[in-house]
Structure 1
Amino acid sequence: MNAFEVIGGKKLKGEIVPQGAKNEALQILAATLLTAEPVTIHNIPDIIDVNVLIDLLAEMGVTVQRLGRHSCTFTAANVNTDYLATEAFRNKGGKLRGSVMLAGAMLGRFKKAYLPKPGGDKIGRRRLDTHIIGFEKLGATYQYQEKLGCFELATQCLKGTFMLLDEPSVTGTANIVMAAVMAEGTTTIYNAACEPYIQQLCKMLNRMGAKITGIGSNLLQIEGVDVLYGTEHTLLPDMIEVGSFIGLAAMTQSALTIKGAGVENLGVIPEKFQQLGIQLQIKGDDIIIPEQDIYEIQTYLDGGILTVYDHPWPGFTPDLLSIVLVVAVQARGSVLIHQKMFESRLFFVDKLIDMGAQIILCDPHRATVIGLARKNKLRGITMSSPDIRAGQALLIAALSAEGTSVIQNIEQIDRGYQYIDERLRSIGAQIQRIG
């Protein structure tokens, strides 16, 4: 079954719980390689990308004990350090960008690693320079192995140093941190990413015996240690799902409650949706979105058109720009969406235009949305999901549209959203998988 059939135009109602954070999971799972002792992880999302990484860990020799649908214990006591250079790893790891996260932990603990060409979403150039330059500064050497189709990294001894990252890459920061925690001496990382997922990784590593200070800032200091120990860790709710559900409620004129939204770690996300005119209330750790007929996009104080753009944390995450764009389609007013980081992420707007949206694609990075203010409904069409986040945005559009939509290539959606069809049906959506 590789498509969703969606009958749109139905109001939804009820409570929905966000899954564990996908992007945090990929970092945390890789970090289990840093110790020979058991590490138990809770709230693991049951999605393709995460399950592929768990399979990779098992094939490397990590003992994986399933405690439940969303909890596992990982024991990396007998790791095959050369597995990452095998064809089996390339075939599986090449489909998953998160596989690059294994390199930092392997280099930190075993002094050698292999870095494959990244897979994942086709959303533009996603370079590995930050990772490799960071490893080099710690004392690793690298060379590209043509036959293996990957970079080989090795070191006699990693040594702490000062480094200024050329970009605050989340995966780059995580990889360098995992390598540095067992390096000799002190490592200082300036212009480090400081997303909640990086904070979570650093806190877990500290519980394992690492010595990391500056958590939550863009200046991390890491005093290397000889050994790390086991621990227990619970993943945050996925902030991208939280934002998706806020957008879903607005587009479908539905009253929804997002339970356990991890509000303190959402940053500016609620505020950005409020700038689109969406009403929401925060009650404890829940977000309540009331039924709302019309939401009006704010303008700047001088009357200028609102611009929503991505920016490193604590700015707005690029993973939600697709959702903001689709939500703006039925708003009153106009907004400029500026996707700075990835040059191909806006290329799904042609599907929205086919559905009746008024969007001007200015260039690969910018799109202007002229809201319909519900004067016209979107119409159901057949379309294909190009990447995880665009796929979810198209699903939201389909749920709000008149008639039936078919979304193909839904493996992209399943890579990032667990049982999304089941959970949407539980709040009244008409969605089913078809072959």
Structure 2
Amino acid sequence: MAAFIIEGGHPLSGEIQPQGAKNEALQVICATLLTSEKVTIHNIPQIRDVMTLIQLLKDVGVKVAADGNTYTFQADELNLDYLQSNEFVQKCAQLRGSVMMIGPLLARMGKATIAKPGGDKIGRRRLDTHFLGFERLGAQFHHVAERDVYEIQAQQLKGCYMLLDEASVTGTANIVMAAVMAKGTTTIYNAACEPYLQQLCKMLNKMGARISGIASNLLTIEGVDHLNGTEHTILPDMIEVGSFIGMAAMVGNGIRIKDVSIKDLGIIPNTFRRMGITIKEEGDDLYIPQMRHYEIQSFIDGTIMTLADAPWPGLTPDLLSVLITVATQARGSVLVHQKMFESRLFFVDKLIDMGAQIILCDPHRAVIVGHDRKLQLRGGRMSSPDIRAGIALLIAALSAKGTSRIDNIEQIDRGYEDIEGRLNALGAKITRLP
């Protein structure tokens, strides 16, 4: 298990470039299974989860060529026997993103296998939306008890109308990829409409799919017989952009975040502004000046500010951990309501050990009373429970007095590429222990 040693208290300054969006990468890479022609994808982040998925595609028989952050995929000779192997099941169990291979394989090959996928330990993350959507399209499931997997088959998927039980991003992506080659028209209501999903649909349309309603929660998909190759560029990762905004507020001495695709950030910049953080938009860059003090706004009626996650265009749950950390040094108080996952707030115990004033009301709500920089967090030893809590703890350690150690940084590596190298270039003092 690797670890970071962080020497806190060093102000950061300079420019930093966000990587390609992790969540978009997982979707569009899986979509390459839908065609036998070459698909080239630019700006792929070289992070643990994405590299694990690419290796999984190689194992299935996809030809992969890399040139920096540009990858070319060609799925013209798939090894379907490998899908039945225990090795495949074990690798899928290590990566939640592997679940999005089901839709493309079901659409093109008529069968797929699914094991319980891995990923962050942030509470229950059910797959019902995926299963119900595939069933509506005509797929059949068979549970293989001795291997604890589900085998899914469909000779010919058929378009239909469906109302999703939740606006699941991965569920919508999976169903869309299955429906693009179904017979007839598929209508998906209560579909997720995050920028990742929009990008996937735009890429599929360039491949020959017929998807309308992109960016709304009502998608209409006219099935086609086959898809072609294409070229696609992944957006900057909006979660990383938000993480850098929080870092700049806590320990920045003037930081510019380059080429962020402001139009695709949604409510994120304004959420940080509600925390009192100054964010200047200059071209497609964000500049955050040194914030000696920042004051949390209240609602118009004077009541305490509440931040809650919600499906797009609401606030992404992936940034609540960072916002909690930023609030510890703000002037004022804020209630954070994490609605989607019941274990994501448990990392606040580690912030409390560092001196933060946080009341964990229940698994979903926490009240943060800001120190207004009158009391500096103190360094300590902690472990990263998931990707987003990991980066939040790293930001806390950068601002803390003394030296901190974060164990289990493989979790951070799943979502952030060479994070210590990029932050050290801004003036941080982070050492990786193997």
TM-score interval (norm. to shorter): over 0.9
After superposition, residues 102-251 of structure 1 pair within 5 angstroms as 102-251=101-250
Q: State the partner residue of 2:360.
A: 361
Deviations 1:189-210 (A, max 9, x none): 0000000000000000000000
- Greater mean deviation of Cα atoms: 142-151 or 339-348: 142-151
- The 8 Å contact of residues 14 and 256 in structure 2, kept in 1 or not, is answered as yes
Distance 1:84 1:239 in 2: 33
Deviations 1:310-357 (A, max 9, x none): 000000000000010000000000000000000000000010000000
Partner-residue secondary structure (3-state), 2:345: coil
- Report the residue type matching 2:388 in the other structure: R
Distance 1:149 1:42 in 2: 36
Distance 1:83 1:186 in 2: 32
Deviations 1:385-429 (A, max 9, x none): 000000000000000001000000000000100000000001000
- Report the residue type matching 1:357 in the other structure: A
After superposition, residues 68-83 of structure 1 pair within 5 angstroms as 68-83=67-82
Distance 1:76 1:148 in 2: 27
Q: State the partner residue of 1:393.
A: 392
State the 1:118 CA deviation.
1.4
Distance 2:398 2:261 in 1: 25
- Greater mean deviation of Cα atoms: 76-85 or 388-397: 76-85
Q: State the partner residue of 1:47.
A: 47
- The 8 Å contact of residues 86 and 148 in structure 1, kept in 2 or not, is answered as no
- The 8 Å contact of residues 46 and 69 in structure 1, kept in 2 or not, is answered as no
State the 1:81 CA deviation.
2.1
- The 8 Å contact of residues 11 and 252 in structure 1, kept in 2 or not, is answered as yes
Q: State the partner residue of 1:18.
A: 18
Partner-residue secondary structure (3-state), 1:307: strand
Backbone CA RMSD of aligned residues: 0.7
- The 8 Å contact of residues 13 and 252 in structure 2, kept in 1 or not, is answered as no
Partner-residue secondary structure (3-state), 2:143: strand
Deviations 1:110-169 (A, max 9, x none): 111112201000000000100000000000011221123211110111000000000000
Q: State the partner residue of 1:412.
A: 411
Distance 1:159 1:228 in 2: 17
- The 8 Å contact of residues 244 and 323 in structure 1, kept in 2 or not, is answered as yes
State the 1:245 CA deviation.
0.2
Partner-residue secondary structure (3-state), 2:335: strand
The alignment status of 1:331 with 2:330, answered yes or no, reads yes
Deviations 1:67-95 (A, max 9, x none): x2211100000112232331111222211
Deviations 1:351-392 (A, max 9, x none): 000000000000000000000000110000000000000000
Distance 2:92 2:155 in 1: 26
After superposition, residues 274-353 of structure 1 pair within 5 angstroms as 274-353=273-352
- Report the residue type matching 2:176 in the other structure: V
Distance 1:275 1:357 in 2: 20
- The 8 Å contact of residues 104 and 176 in structure 1, kept in 2 or not, is answered as yes
- Report the residue type matching 2:57 in the other structure: L
Q: State the partner residue of 2:379.
A: 380
- Report the residue type matching 1:329 in the other structure: T
Distance 1:106 1:168 in 2: 22
Partner-residue secondary structure (3-state), 2:423: helix
Distance 2:185 2:90 in 1: 37
Share of identical aligned residues, percent?
A: 65
Partner-residue secondary structure (3-state), 1:287: strand
- The 8 Å contact of residues 332 and 369 in structure 2, kept in 1 or not, is answered as yes
Distance 1:218 1:86 in 2: 37
Q: State the partner residue of 1:423.
A: 422
Distance 1:271 1:321 in 2: 14
Deviations 1:218-266 (A, max 9, x none): 0000000001000000100000000000000101142100001111100
- The 8 Å contact of residues 310 and 317 in structure 1, kept in 2 or not, is answered as yes
Partner-residue secondary structure (3-state), 1:153: strand
- The 8 Å contact of residues 386 and 411 in structure 2, kept in 1 or not, is answered as yes
Partner-residue secondary structure (3-state), 2:318: helix
Q: State the partner residue of 2:6.
A: 6
User: Structure 2: which 5+ runs fail to align?
Assistant: none
Partner-residue secondary structure (3-state), 1:25: helix
Across the two proteins, how many residue pairs are aligned to each other? Answer: 434
State the 1:102 CA deviation.
0.2
Distance 2:253 2:401 in 1: 15
- Report the residue type matching 1:196 in the other structure: P
Deviations 1:286-307 (A, max 9, x none): 0000011000000001110000
- The 8 Å contact of residues 85 and 148 in structure 1, kept in 2 or not, is answered as no
Partner-residue secondary structure (3-state), 1:122: coil
Distance 2:20 2:130 in 1: 25
Distance 2:413 2:345 in 1: 20
Superposition TM-score, scaled by structure 1 size: 0.99
Deviations 1:39-78 (A, max 9, x none): 0011000100000000000000000011x22111000001
- The 8 Å contact of residues 306 and 334 in structure 2, kept in 1 or not, is answered as yes
Distance 1:183 1:82 in 2: 24
Superposition TM-score, scaled by structure 2 size: 0.99
Distance 2:232 2:81 in 1: 28
